[in-house]
Amino acid sequence: MTAQAAYRNLTDHFARIGALRAVSGILGWDAAVMMPGGSAEARAEQQAALDVAIHEKVTDPRVRDWLAAATAETPEAEANLAEIRREVAHATAVPADLVDAYARAANESEMVWRTARPANDFAALLPKLRVLLGLVRQMGQAKAEALGTSVYDALLDQFEPGGRSADIDVLFADLARFLPDLTEQVLTAQAKRPAPLPLVGPFPIPAQKTLGERLMTALGFDFDRGRLDVSHHPFCGGAPGDVRITTRYSEDSFFPAMMGVLHETGHALYEIGLPRQHRGQPIGLARGMSLHESQSLLVEMQVSRSLPFLTFAAPLIREAFGAEGPAWSAENLHAHAMQVERGLIRVNADEVTYPAHVILRYRLERALIDGSLDLADLPGAWNAGMKELVGITPPDDKDGCLQDIHWPAGLFGYFPTYTMGAMTAAQLYAAAQADVPTIPDEIAQGNFAPLLGWLREKVHGLGSTRSAKDILIAATGAPLSVAPFRRHLERRYLDA
């Protein structure tokens, strides 16, 4: 077998794996958007069989032989080989029956969570979550040995390749130093400003959907290769070349659904902009969750809650709901978009208080993984952490430790990527405006091409050909730091 043939065998093999992962993406979308409730058990069998089939392919003994024989003739091939090695290390660390048990336990736990959360019944979830956490720790230990990292970092690496908790500790400590004071200052400044004029509905859902579609189209979403639907938890899913986002609507308010659409559109634009020539290969995939979240937050937080964007969007919003008057000015919409409040719920949090929610989860999941916190003590630890970090105590578990799907779905090591994404978004958008100063003015005119072009060149089009760190340094001149995020918050919330 020549080195070229070995590399070709690898890329053929991983193209099939990529296609099966795309199938998994469609299946996941279907489960959240289309599947009838009674079909969940059958679906769990399907998803598990698909996961095992993918795992079998990644751990196929021939892959090791091909990796030993293959040489890279281009930098892209070199990066692809490195990604394949990383994937194989993750997968071979974990035996197939553990993968299978994890998939089933995650599905069962998630299903119980779906009823336990509205019932405020942590005790109902606890046994399922305990089984799942045990399997997660087993997986993490196996991966830690294979990767030469800590157990937590091995879990983190699944979502954030190369991410290390030692770096996160430093960044989150920086955040924790200034955010409490900043939050106080922001709330004080906000209290001195007049309250925004109310936006009075109802807002018919078909009109909200049409508005969302118009904004998505303006941003560059292609409806011939994607969809917008409804699900309980908004997400960006589907498959490469078939990117599907969801939102959820309330007739009482259009802002959450609109911002949800814009957030998921940020994710979608990243997926759509991935390098077409590498589709199906590991280097053709998005580069980790913090960069992914940076794209959604760049669109939602940096762009869509800015005055230039709302200058563009205000007439579309007025048209969608047949609204008029001063409440519907760009300035008043902007005032709504930047309301800050200490709240119980992470997904409803504004960008100022959001990091506190994430730091809480990061601390707790590290303790759950290293065994210093028992799951039975999670509600108490949660409430104490909320009091310390956000400044309020949840009245119940429903809006406390039961609020997120992540842990019941088996996702540990995921939460920190949200706030790393927020910081990355601030750093990228500052660099984009430094490179192309007309971006905000163009956005006010509804022209997103300069921004999208910059993102495609600096981020989207690179896929996983480089590390997240190298992508960020090349795009912004510096590794991830708290400073641009802090400047952004101070400028938006204190200089206003």
Q: Which residue's CB is nearer to its own copies, number 103 or number 289?
A: 103
Binders in 118-137 for its own copies, by CB under 8 A: none
98 lines the binding site for its own copies (CB under 8 A) = no
The first and second tokens of residue 480, run together, are 């991830």
Is the separation of the CB atoms in 463 and 287 below 8 Å?
A: yes
Minimum CB–partner distance for residue 308 and its own copies (Å): 30
Considering only 223, 315, 319, 345, the residue that binds its own copies (CB under 8 A) is 223
**Segment interacting with its own copies, rule: CB under 8 A, options 223-231, 251-259, 361-369, 485-493:** 223-231
> Of the listed 87, 110, 264, 300, which one is catalytic?
264
359 lines the binding site for its own copies (CB under 8 A) = no
Is the separation of the CB atoms in 99 and 76 below 8 Å?
A: no
Binders in 260-279 for its own copies, by CB under 8 A: 279
The first and second tokens of residue 44, run together, are 């769990």
114 lines the binding site for its own copies (CB under 8 A) = no
Q: Tell me whether residue 457 is one of the annotated catalytic residues.
A: no
Minimum CB–partner distance for residue 53 and its own copies (Å): 5
Q: Which residue's CB is nearer to its own copies, number 228 or number 333?
A: 228
224 lines the binding site for its own copies (CB under 8 A) = yes
Question: In 215-308, which ranges are E strands?
Answer: 226-230, 236-239, 242-247
Residue type, 278: H
61 lines the binding site for its own copies (CB under 8 A) = no
**Segment interacting with its own copies, rule: CB under 8 A, options 12-20, 173-181, 188-196, 332-340:** 12-20
Q: Which residue's CB is nearer to its own copies, number 15 or number 230?
A: 15
Closest among 245, 431, 288, 422 to 350, alpha carbons compared: 422
Helix (H) or strand (E) holding 268: helix 255-273
The C-alpha atoms of residue 435 and residue 255 are separated, in whole angstroms, by 31
Q: Which residue's CB is nearer to its own copies, number 52 or number 327?
A: 52
Going by the annotation, the residues of the binding site are 263, 267, 293
Minimum CB–partner distance for residue 97 and its own copies (Å): 11
Residue type, 451: L
Q: Which residue's CB is nearer to its own copies, number 31 or number 423?
A: 31
8 lines the binding site for its own copies (CB under 8 A) = no
Q: Which residue's CB is nearer to its own copies, number 48 or number 482?
A: 48
User: Roughly what angle, to the nearest 10 degrees, separates helices 307-321 and 205-219?
Assistant: 140
379 lines the binding site for its own copies (CB under 8 A) = no
Binders in 173-212 for its own copies, by CB under 8 A: none
Helix (H, G, I), strand (E, B) or coil at 244: strand
DSSP label at residue 253: B
Going by the annotation, the residues of the binding site for Zn(2+) are 263, 267, 293
**Segment interacting with its own copies, rule: CB under 8 A, options 144-152, 225-233, 295-303, 306-314:** 225-233
Residues in contact with its own copies, shown as a per-residue x/- string from 28 to 57 under the rule CB under 8 A? --x---xxxxxx-xxx-xx-xxx-xx---x
When computed from its CA atoms, the radius of gyration of the chain, rounded to whole angstroms, is 23
- 330-338: list long-range contacts, CB under 8 Å, 24+ apart: 331/307, 332/196, 332/197, 333/199, 334/305, 334/306, 334/307, 334/310, 335/193, 335/196, 336/196, 336/199, 336/255, 337/255, 337/259, 337/304, 337/305, 337/310, 338/305, 338/492, 338/493, 338/496
Distance set, CA 257 to CA 77, 178, 204, 260, 360 (Å):
41, 31, 12, 5, 26
User: What is 406-452 written as a DSSP string?
Assistant: TTTTT--S-THHHHHHHHHHHHHHHHHHHH-TTHHHHHHTT--HHHH
Considering only 19, 146, 218, 347, the residue that binds its own copies (CB under 8 A) is 19
Q: Which residue's CB is nearer to its own copies, number 22 or number 126?
A: 22
Judged by the rule CB under 8 A, the positions of this chain that interact with its own copies are 15-16, 19-20, 22-23, 26-27, 30, 34-39, 41-43, 45-46, 48-50, 52-53, 57, 222-227, 239-242, 279-280
- Residues noted as catalytic: 264
